[in-house]
Structure 1
Amino acid sequence: MSEIGLRERKKQRMYQTVSDTAIRLFLEKGFDAVSVAEVAAAAEISKPTLFRYFPAKEDLVLYRIADHEQEAARVVAEGPGSPLEALRRHFLDGLERCDPVTGLNDDPRVLAFHSLLYGTPALVARVYAYQQRSEAALAEALGGDLDARLAAGQIIAVLRILANENWRRIASGESVAEVREDAVAAAERAFGWLERGLPRLAPS
């Protein structure tokens, strides 16, 4: 392995370790009750070193979902099929795999992370910015014009609402088995609406 490859792997391990340490502390004590200095001490690094990896406290949490920011754009770019066909298939595959991004996952650790993310005002604000970047990336993948931006806004909203509804039901005590059939039906229905409203992006 090259020295550059080794350095990159060490850097990624550092990101993961520090983020995991921070999330553990936030879940134990609450996001606002834990200082950045406390996270740095628990991760056995200096505070300046932590800030080199994570410029803001919120980034310690958002790192866990950062790799999904470009997901919709990547699915459209890689295909196959029309944009809506590819996105529909990807979301349904995610439901089948119980991908946490779809909200259809009842692992206690996933539920705890969702509660942290959506129960902390500072993190909710950052999630909104994350969704805006995801929408912008999808719009670019769809062509970048006004029509593409309008379509991207609708698609990202649909994905968010579907996932939040699944998470809401599971957080209230229902199991994946109880929610799955409705989740698939809701996704099929929502993508049907998108295809009728956005025929340019639908299967021909």
Structure 2
Amino acid sequence: MTTDEEVGLRERKKQRMYQAISEAAITLFLEKGFEKVPVAEVAAAAQISKPTLFRYFPTKEDLVLHRFADHLDEAARVVTARPAKRSPLDALQRHFLDGLERRDPVTGLCDNVHVLAFHRLLYGTPSLVARLYGYQEQSEKVLGEALSEAAAGLPDAEASDAGARATEAPALTARLAAGQIVAVQRILALENWRRIDAGESAEAVWPNAVVTANRAFGQLRSGLTRYA
């Protein structure tokens, strides 16, 4: 009979394998370029077979995007775990601002040389950018589900709109909101990265990044009243 400890051990071993393969791949991609490194070379560097590699990573792009895997449900987790009296948008805004303050690479506001090299690889490779949109679509989906659940316990700011409640599809409304939120966070992060990639320091960009983030969430709040 399999114990919880054994299951946990297998899961940790699996995650270590994911990490080791991904890091081996990224090292090669940074050294030679994404397009110039075949999957077979990555497998050899990770000391596994090519079929084994594909069992862990269905596509070559996933070897790089694995670093984003832990962030797929991050926004959804923020909404779900927020304090009872804090709205979803307030929680997401606070989380993004906290990320800016600690120079979280996900916010784009990080001038660590290794992070910059990774971002240049990512944004400089069209197939990786395309795959990144797929990851963001998954983030939108789970965030939409979290917003839909959160809306059930929130005051309905749109109730005064004549006929709105009769025609609205709640799940679609939440998914549309999630798409806007994820897009805003993506654009903010990309703008921060572009400025740092152009030579500015994270410390120099930070004050304006905070102002811009607050303005962006203000725009969201004016349109997404149900979640504000």
Bucket of the pairwise TM-score, normalised by the shorter protein: over 0.9
Q: 2:15 corresponds to which residue?
A: 12
Aligned ranges for residues 28-177 of structure 1 at < 5 Å? 28-80=31-83, 81-143=86-148, 145-177=171-203
Q: What percentage of aligned pairs have identical amino acids?
A: 70
Equivalent of 1:23 in 16, 22, 26: 26
Is 1:185–2:211 an aligned residue pair?
Answer: yes
Deviation, 1:148, is 1.0
Deviation, 1:67, is 0.8
Deviation, 1:99, is 0.3
Runs of 4+ displaced beyond 3 Å: none
Deviation, 1:69, is 0.9
Unaligned runs of 5+ in 2: 149-169
Counterpart residue identity of residue 93, structure 2: R
In structure 1, distance between residues paired with 2:13 and 2:171: 40
Query: Please, what TM-score do these two structures have when normalized by structure 1?
Result: 0.96
Deviation, 1:4, is 2.0
Q: Which segment drifts farther, 4-13 or 34-43? A: 4-13
Q: Which segment drifts farther, 119-128 or 142-151? A: 142-151
Q: 2:164 corresponds to which residue?
A: none
Counterpart residue identity of residue 25, structure 2: A
In structure 2, distance between residues paired with 1:142 and 1:25: 40
**CA displacement, residues 22-56 of structure 1 (integer Å, 9 cap, x when unaligned):** 00000000111001110011111111111111111
In structure 1, distance between residues paired with 2:174 and 2:112: 36
In structure 2, distance between residues paired with 1:145 and 1:13: 36
Match of 2:59, SS state, is coil
Deviation, 1:3, is 2.2
CA RMSD for the aligned pairs?
1.1
**CA displacement, residues 137-163 of structure 1 (integer Å, 9 cap, x when unaligned):** 111111162221221111111101111
Match of 1:142, SS state, is helix
Q: 1:200 corresponds to which residue?
A: 226
In structure 2, distance between residues paired with 1:149 and 1:17: 35
